[in-house]
Structure 1
Amino acid sequence: MASTAHPLMVGQVLQSNSTHYTILQFIGEGSFGEVAKCWADNSSSAVAVKILKKEFLQDIEDEVSMLKTIGSLNADNINVVKFYEQFQYLGYNCLVFELLDVDLSHLVCSIKVHNIRPIAEQLLVALQGLKSVRVMHGDIKPDNVMLADIDEDPVRVKLVDFGMASSFSAICPGMILQPIGYRYEGVTLNNFCVFMKCMVEMLGMPSKYHLRFGMYSQRFFYPRRKLI
């Protein structure tokens, strides 16, 4: 089936300076473009090739910069996806990664309770690894947590998609990060009154610490007056 974001088709060969990648199938699509499962001639194995739309040139430069920074670490040890190379084909920017299985959002309704802890522990290791090179992921959600091989190990996960990652030095107070449905309450104190109202109704009031130091707390909450 032909891709909707570009003229590439199954069976087409993408050529980089190091090897040829034959498109086997398209396995994902997002606002950035598409992900194709490809056969890499140099390694005789399947890989995932992220094909970005032409308007995302600056975004891919930022993402590659973050991936190279993370590349100084062992991807397996810190539970992040392996990045192999970047190349251009017919004007499209392509990023090559190891091929993983399915993302966590496909299993969120069927995942067993006893599997939650090992998955959470792996993600904490990933975050610790990113912290060591001063990188923030910026888009953690079930879609960006993938099982490496569900048949071999049903709880082995890796963190993927560093398209919104930033170095610590680029982060400043008040930045809007993460999709709203997965947004941490300390970040949400920047905006979205209705969302905050629903969160409070379900989870209760934010802590005094967050209310005190949230840059926009007064947009959502009135200070409690002392009774005489």
Structure 2
Amino acid sequence: MLQMITLHPVASNVVNLYESFEHKGQTCLAFEILDRDLIQLLGDRQYKPLSLNEIPPIAQQLLTAFVALKGISVIHADLKLDNVMLINQENQPFRVKLIDFGLALHNSEVTTGLTVQALGYRAAEVILGLPFTEAIGMCGVGCVLAELFLTCYLFGTGYEYQKMMNIVDVLGQPDEHVLNAGIYTDKFFKANWH
């Protein structure tokens, strides 16, 4: 997947793959050196939330990365705090890059019911078993930004059922046509014809 991603690493905020090679039957990847991930940043700050001035630059860079990926029909499918790395926090505060394309897939590879994304960042359409696109990354971005501000998961991480309950509590129940289209909807909702 990384060899398919031919994006400008600076303009797209995506990690730069320098080369890949085989060594003793293993594929090795050489990336640019980055500083630390966002979980480490929070740990360095004793899990004190980022301020409202510190979050927008991260948001803008993540959105730029996802727009670039959408342009080549790639779904990252694994956005979480440890897959966003600071370039150099001392010299370029809050300059980040998106990393870890191990679960990334092309739009054409999506099948209905495919489970992707870590549970704490999983989009409702994935949970319900709906067809999805790279737009699921926006749920991940929202969850990452909320976690930086709240220092906890926005919708929890326990079980999918609990996560869906939390999504409904915060955002409301999905529309009926959405629920009817989901192949896993009956795990979370019961039809009430009245």
When normalised by structure 1's length, the TM-score is 0.63
Alpha-carbon separation, structure 2, partners of 1:167 and 1:99: 26
Distance 2:25 2:128 in 1: 41
Structure number having the greater helix percentage: 2
Instruction: Flag the structure with more relative contact order, 1 or 2, with Cα contacts below 8 A and sequence separation at least 6.
Output: 2
Measured in 2, the distance between the counterparts of 1:79 and 1:206 equals: 34
One-letter code aligned to 2:76? H
Q: Is 1:81 equivalent to 2:48 in the alignment?
A: no
Q: 1:103 is aligned with what amino acid?
A: D
Gaps (5+ residues) in structure 1?
Answer: 1-65
One-letter code aligned to 2:128: L
1:107 alignment partner AA: L
Match of 2:174 in 1: 207
- Any unmatched runs of 5+ in structure 2? 130-158
- Are 1:146 and 2:85 an aligned pair? yes
Asked if structure 1 preserves the Cα contact closer than 8 Å seen for 2:168 and 2:174, the reply is no
1:16-27 pair list within 5 angstroms: none
Residues 1:133 and 1:104: Cα distance change in structure 2 (over 3 Å):
same
Shift of 1:213: 3.4
Does residue 220 of the first structure (1) align with residue 188 of the second (2)? yes
Q: Which amino acid aligns with 2:12?
A: I
- Aligned equivalent of 2:3: 68
CA distance in 1, matches of 2:187, 2:38: 34
Higher-Rg member (1/2): 1
1:128-185 CA distance string (max 9 Å, x none): 1011111111100010000011001221110000000111111121110011122112
2-side partners of 1:206 and 1:79: how far apart?
Answer: 34
Larger strand proportion of the pair: 1
How far the C-alpha of 1:212 sits from its partner, in A, is 4.1
8 Å CA contact 2:127, 2:184 repeated in 1? no
Equivalent residue number for residue 133 of structure 1: 72
The secondary structure found in structure 1 opposite 2:187 is helix
- Return the alpha-carbon distance in structure 2 between the equivalents of residues 166 and 84 of structure 1: 21
Give the Å deviation of 1:69.
Answer: 1.8
Aligned length in residues: 159
Tell me which amino acid in the other structure corresponds to 1:69: M
1:198 Cα deviation (Å)? 4.9
Q: Distance in 1 between matches of 2:56 and 2:173?
A: 25
CA RMSD of aligned residues (A): 2.0
| Secondary structure of 1:197's aligned partner | helix
Q: TM-score, normalised by structure 2?
A: 0.74
Name the aligned partner's letter for residue 94 of structure 1: C
CA contact (8 A) 1:185 1:206 kept: no
Q: Does residue 102 of structure 1 match 2:36?
A: yes
Cα distance in structure 1, aligned partners of 2:41 and 2:127:
26
